[in-house]
Amino acid sequence: QVRLVESGGGLVQAGGSLRLSCEASGSSFIRINDMGWYRQVPGKQRDLVAASSSGGSTNYADSVKGRFTISRDNAKNTVYLQMNSLKPEDTAVYYCNARVFALSYGLRDYWGQGTQVNVSS
């Protein structure tokens, strides 16, 4: 019912910036509660980077606090991740996540296709 499309990844040098975007589309009979960004490197689990609740609260991984900012435009069903002062250890595939509620099935998580972020030294 929900499709997430990510954009904005790429290759940058350490200290540079990127802005990731994720637009959600789907049925009108759903409510998107939480949205967030996760990242994953080969051989490791997918970890939370930043999350934004429908109530406006945010949460960040300790490794990105002070450098990354999550924001959302509910009218556009879009979530953003502003990434500043990038480090080589930020290199990963970044995935958008949306937690959606529908009366027919309750809560369900949806994922984007992922966008590659490479930070060189």
* Each residue's pLDDT tens digit, 57-77: 999 999 999 999 999 988 888
| Per-position b or e across 59-94, b if 16+ CB within 10 A of its CB | ebeeebeeebebebeeeebbbbbebeebeeebbbbb
Q: Could you count the other beta carbons within 10 Å of the beta carbon of residue 20?
A: 23
Sequence-separated (6 or more) residues with CB below 8 Å from residue 53:
33, 34
SS3 at position 44: coil
Tokens representing residue 20 in the block: 């990731």
Band (pLDDT 50/70/90 cuts) for residue 29 is confident
Tokens of 44: 């490791």
Q: What is the pLDDT of residue 97?
A: 96
